[in-house]
Amino acid sequence: MNHDLPRKPADSLSDEEKATYQWQMWTPGFGEEGQRRLKNSTVLISRCGGLGSVVAYELAAAGVGRLIIAHAGNVKHSDLNRQLLMTHQWLGKPRIETIERRLKDLNPRLEIVGLDANLDDELAEKWVPQADVCVGAAPMFEERFAMNDACVRHRKPHVNCAMFDTEATISTFSGGGQPCLRCLTPEIPEFWKREFPVFGATSGTVACMGAMETIKLLAGFGKTLEQRILRFDLREMTFNEFSIRNIPHCNICAE
Ligand SMILES: [Zn+2]
């Protein structure tokens, strides 16, 4: 786990990459310059389960150059309804191995730093500064707070995706004096529990939104959910948006 990442020069695209990403490079505001930015970017993803696996897969598909992925434990039967990088064949074996293998099957150019651990303050302090954007996809608030707090310290943008049952929320925290996750949720909610009802289609929906927020941040186009939170419920197909403000006494981001 002691890989130090040298910063890469801004590579141009190979013919193979131009062929692979041609259709997305037609996106107005993105183009070949946006694709080069993705290629030269690093994204840290905290947990690669129902949410993070889809974030990672979409970013690998889109041609992000390097992913740092933190996810501990071995594959279990109960992962397989939603954690799309886990496979039946890999039951009982380390999740991070199947995550790396399946992402490389899709995109062999992708560089992956796989951490067989869940994010804590120490890991966040080491890896957040090496990422251009961080994505919080962990079920536990301790891991989310570790990522948030390090992102505020190092002024890194942070996309936070969360879900419960058929509901999900997503927000983007840009750092640099803007509100942070602790402004929204200062402490771990008492009702929170480790296990929860989930369809993969719900976690995957908010994960695709998180991947798109990340792509926009990296490539510099579109409008992100900065200072906003989107909340939706797929049971009733309702989508609502709220603004987020700094809380003056936030322990983390108040200057
Ligand atoms: Zn805050």
- Concatenating the DSSP letter of every residue in 17-69 gives HHHHHHHHHTSTTTHHHHHHHHHT-EEEEE--STTHHHHHHHHHHHT-SEEEE
In DSSP terms, which residues pair with 70 in a beta bridge?
A: 46, 115
Are β-strands 167-173 and 158-164 bridged in parallel, bridged antiparallel, or unpaired? antiparallel
Residues 242 and 179 sit within 8 Å (Cβ to Cβ)? no
For 70-101, b where at least 16 C-beta lie within 10 A, e where not — what string?
Answer: bbeebbeeebeebbbbbeeebeeebbbebbbe
In DSSP terms, which residues pair with 94 in a beta bridge?
A: 74
Question: What distance in angstroms lies between residue 245's CA and the mean position of ligand 1's atoms?
Answer: 9
Question: What distance in angstroms lies between residue 160's CA and the mean position of ligand 1's atoms?
Answer: 14
Question: What distance in angstroms lies between residue 198's CA and the mean position of ligand 1's atoms?
Answer: 29
**Tokens at 122, concatenated:** 């120490």
Can you give the pLDDT at residue 3?
44
For 163-186, the three-class secondary structure string (H helix, E strand, C coil) is EECCEEEEEEECCCCCCCHHHHCC
Question: What distance in angstroms lies between residue 184's CA and the mean position of ligand 1's atoms?
Answer: 7
Tell which wins on pLDDT, 54 or 249.
54
Res. 2: pLDDT tops 80: no
Reduce the DSSP state of residue 189 to 3 states and report it.
coil
Greatest C-alpha distance within the chain = 53
Can you give the pLDDT at residue 230?
98
Question: What distance in angstroms lies between residue 1's CA and the mean position of ligand 1's atoms?
Answer: 30
Reduce the DSSP state of residue 224 to 3 states and report it.
coil
Question: What distance in angstroms lies between residue 84's CA and the mean position of ligand 1's atoms?
Answer: 32
Residues 180 and 148 sit within 8 Å (Cβ to Cβ)? yes
| 167-216 pLDDT tens trace | 999 999 987 778 999 999 988 888 777 788 999 999 999 999 999 999 99
Domains and CATH numbers, the chain: 29-243 (3.40.50.720)
> What percentage of the chain carries pLDDT values higher than 70?
96
Question: What distance in angstroms lies between residue 37's CA and the mean position of ligand 1's atoms?
Answer: 29
Question: What distance in angstroms lies between residue 191's CA and the mean position of ligand 1's atoms?
Answer: 21
The structure tokens 């500064």 sit at 129
Question: What distance in angstroms lies between residue 252's CA and the mean position of ligand 1's atoms?
Answer: 5
Question: What distance in angstroms lies between residue 251's CA and the mean position of ligand 1's atoms?
Answer: 7
Can you give the pLDDT at residue 221?
96
Reduce the DSSP state of residue 243 to 3 states and report it.
strand
Question: What distance in angstroms lies between residue 68's CA and the mean position of ligand 1's atoms?
Answer: 25
Q: Which helix (H) or strand (E) holds 162?
A: strand 158-164
The pLDDT mean for the chain works out to 93
Question: What distance in angstroms lies between residue 149's CA and the mean position of ligand 1's atoms?
Answer: 9
- Report phi then psi at 243, rounded to 5: -90, 155
Can you give the pLDDT at residue 157?
96
| 94-152 pLDDT tens trace | 999 999 999 999 999 999 999 999 999 999 999 999 999 999 999 999 999 999 999 99
Q: What is the CA radius of gyration of the chain?
A: 17
Question: What distance in angstroms lies between residue 189's CA and the mean position of ligand 1's atoms?
Answer: 16
| 14-43 pLDDT tens trace | 999 999 999 999 999 999 999 999 999 999
Reduce the DSSP state of residue 187 to 3 states and report it.
coil
